[in-house]
Structure 1
Amino acid sequence: MDCVFCRIRDGQIPSMKIFEDGRTLTIMDINPLNSGHCLVVTKAHAPSLFEAEVEDLQAAIAAAKKVALAIQHVLKPDGLNLLQANGPAAFQSVPHFHIHLIPRWNGDGKGFDWTPTPGNRDQIMKVGERLRGLLK
């Protein structure tokens, strides 16, 4: 398998590891949006959220909390984005489950091109009903 995160996990590619537990490792992002941008990566290979084991996802969010608190203490950002993408349409660049932790500062000039606009209420309700029916 030629997965960059699996190769990092296996020590085949150097990285700046800042935290590791039995199911996850956290590395500094080499293309950071802001200083302190890091990635929580599951050790088990799963291309996305859809294939990842629940236990790995639980460990990843617990690691994200631990690392976020360290970021808050060391860098004192005004905020923090927790970002996770699944599939090319969602701009996932590496097909291995990972969570971005991105420290944010007021006026940092970074943003998301997402302008909130009201949705179609009927469509929202119809999709919500379909999802709720499947989740019961």
Structure 2
Amino acid sequence: MTVYDSDNVFAKILRGEIPAVKIYEDADILAFMDAMPQGDGHALVIPKAPSRNLLDADPATVATLFRAVQRIARAVRTAFGADGVFVSQYNEPASGQTVFHLHVHIIPRFEGVPLRGHAAGTFADRAVLAEHAARIRAALDADNAGPAS
């Protein structure tokens, strides 16, 4: 098994070395906007515990992560009035994993609207990401329970 690399981009975000447009944060979880979104409202949810992916994560970390994923996914769907929500998680390069810190993608989906490519180097406008994050936070607040309950 490959060792966790503490210099991956998400570890750097957790340490505050790289900025992110945050949606939600608690002692165990960080949810933020994908900087190269495949659709408006594309969010990422990560555990703060160092885990390369689902295959090496502690089961308690996975349980906490997916409780938050469910709540964030509901908020994303509400915030964007989406027809559905795409939730994905990749493990190792053969599956498409490119950042080796456990993370889950949440993307609102609309009938007949294809996803955009996840093109490396094409970053979304930070002001747009901030507006999307605000919409998701408002939906979380309206839910009154917070992601990890």
* TM-score normalised by L of structure 2: 0.71
Shift of 1:109: 2.1
Which residue, 80, 85, 88 being the options, matches 1:83?
88
**Ranges in structure 1 where 5+ consecutive residues have no aligned partner:** 112-136
**Separation of aligned partners in 2, 1:104 and 1:29:** 15
> Per the alignment, in what secondary structure is the counterpart of residue 91 of structure 2?
coil
**Separation of aligned partners in 2, 1:109 and 1:84:** 19
**Separation of aligned partners in 1, 2:34 and 2:12:** 15
Q: Which has the higher contact order (CA 8 A, sep 6+)?
A: 2
> Per the alignment, in what secondary structure is the counterpart of residue 44 of structure 1?
coil
Which residue, 41, 61, 77 being the options, matches 1:56?
61
Q: Which amino acid aligns with 1:57?
A: V
**Separation of aligned partners in 1, 2:15 and 2:44:** 16
Q: Which has the larger radius of gyration?
A: 1
Partner in structure 2 of residue 9 of structure 1:
14
**Ranges in structure 2 where 5+ consecutive residues have no aligned partner:** 1-5, 117-149
**Separation of aligned partners in 2, 1:109 and 1:27:** 22
**Separation of aligned partners in 2, 1:93 and 1:79:** 25
> Per the alignment, in what secondary structure is the counterpart of residue 69 of structure 2?
helix
Q: Structure 1 residues 27-36 or 71-80, which shifts more?
A: 71-80
Give the RMSD, CA atoms, in angstroms.
1.2
String of CA shifts for 1:74-114, please: whole Å, max 9, x gaps: 11111111100000000001011000001111111239xxx
Query: Segments of 4+ in structure 1 off by > 6 A?
Result: none
Whether 1:37 and 2:42 are equivalent positions in the alignment is yes
**Separation of aligned partners in 2, 1:110 and 1:38:** 14
Identical aligned residues as a percent:
37
Is contact 1:24–1:56 with CA below 8 Å preserved after alignment? no
